[in-house]
């Protein structure tokens, strides 16, 4: 089954006929039970992997034309690797990275402290250094295997949820300029740090949602070693 944006989706039962600004008609396979995920970064892809694993239909929308090829995040923590393992991703990712078993912090020419990851109670008792571009590729492969393809050049431009617990109506703009109206019960905003969703869906934010910003502070206790 193909949407007009050229991406394959799983067969779904409801056809929605959408009219865009140019009065062209656009038929998209969709059901209000489909979960609309905005943004195919690590967060959006993991949400799509997880939901589709449980047989939940998803549409994964991404505004860019192609995947990012820059590294950005480079360190994967043991617990993340454990979660990846449960989804069959760790075995693909670990051989592509470098294992860091310990790290030392230096100041004023001296070693201040050393972190030893080998004591971590995990099969993955190390930090995995791997480019985020590589991690994303592994996630994209998993999505493809689960029959979810990323709908590229599609951007969320507005949404509203008039009734609490009612459907969300989202408007997507595709690369060719066409607009698509999508009704869905659930939408997951994974637009990253520059998320527009709170602004785009201002009525939703005001009426039904809360934005939580969490700052975590921690105290690190370290044994100071004599300079070596
Ligand atoms: C230069 C740089 C260096 C970094 N270095 C590190 C590092 O060393 N260590 C570290 O831990 N983290 C680092 N980060 C942060 C890390 O990359 C992010 O934490 C991570 O990418 C967040 O994942 P995400 O899926 O939440 O968001 P993102 O990766 O930002 O993905 C969001 C996706 O949503 C898409 N999108 C946004 N809005 C829309 C819309 N309206 N419609 C459709 N699609 C949309 C975007 O195109 C993007 O693909 C770095 C980031 C940058 C930019």
**From the CA of 131, how far away is ligand 1's center (Å)?**
13
Residue 33: HSE in the Cβ half-sphere, 13 Å Cα cutoff? 10
- 210 lies in a domain? no
Which residues does ligand 1 sit against, CB inside 6 Å? Answer: 38-44, 61-64, 72-74, 132, 155-156, 190-192, 196
**Which ligand 1 atom is the nearest neighbour of the CA of 192?**
27
pLDDT of residue 195: 80
Give the total number of structural domains in the chain. Answer: 1
Q: Evaluate whether residue 19 is within a structural domain.
A: yes
Q: Residue 165 domain-assigned?
A: yes
Q: Is residue 4 part of a domain?
A: no
- Name the 3-class secondary structure at 157: strand
**Smallest CA separation from ligand 1 atom 22, residue:** 192
| Residue 19 β-bridge partners | 25
Kindly report, residue by residue over 139-151, the tens digit of the pLDDT: 999 999 999 999 9
pLDDT tens for the 228 residues of the chain, in order = 333 333 333 333 333 333 333 334 344 455 668 999 999 999 999 999 999 999 999 999 999 999 999 999 999 999 999 999 999 999 999 999 999 999 999 999 999 999 999 999 999 999 999 999 999 999 999 999 999 999 999 999 999 988 888 899 999 999 999 999 999 999 999 999 878 766 665 555 445 555 556 665 555 555 555 555
Ligand 1 centroid vs 41 CA: distance in angstroms? 6
Q: What is the pLDDT of residue 17?
A: 34
**pTM value?**
0.80
Considering only CA atoms, which of 28, 36, 34 is closest in space to residue 7? 28
Torsion sign over Cα 180, 186, 192, 195: positive
Residue 92 in domain? yes
CATH number at residue 193: 3.50.50.60
Q: Answer yes or no: is 9 within a domain.
A: no
Domain that holds residue 122: 14-204+219-225
Spacing, Cα 110 to ligand 1 middle (Å) = 35
């Amino acid at each position: 089954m193909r949407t007009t944006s050229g991406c394959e989706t799983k067969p779904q039962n409801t056809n929605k006929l959408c009219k865009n600004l140019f009065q062209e008609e656009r038929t998209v396979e969709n059901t209000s039970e489909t979960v609309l995920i905005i943004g195919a970064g690590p967060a959006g892809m993991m949400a799509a992997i997880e939901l589709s694993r449980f047989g939940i239909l998803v549409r994964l929308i991404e505004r860019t034309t192609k995947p990012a090829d820059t590294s950005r995040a480079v360190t994967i923590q043991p617990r993340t690797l454990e979660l990846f393992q449960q989804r069959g991703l760790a075995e693909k990712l670990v051989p592509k990275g470098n294992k860091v078993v310990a790290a030392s912090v230096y100041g004023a020419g001296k070693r201040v402290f050393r972190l030893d990851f080998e004591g971590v109670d995990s099969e993955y008792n190390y930090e995995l250094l791997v480019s985020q571009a590589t991690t994303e590729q592994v996630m994209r492969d998993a999505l493809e295997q689960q029959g979810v393809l990323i709908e590229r050049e599609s951007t969320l431009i507005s949404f509203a949820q008039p009734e609490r617990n009612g459907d969300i109506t989202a408007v997507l703009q595709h690369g060719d300029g066409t607009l698509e109206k999508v009704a869905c019960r659930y939408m997951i905003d994974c637009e990253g740090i520059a998320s527009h969703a709170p602004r785009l869906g201002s009525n939703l934010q005001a009426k039904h949602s809360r934005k939580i910003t969490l700052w975590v502070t921690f105290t690190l206790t370290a044994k100071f070693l004599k300079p070596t």
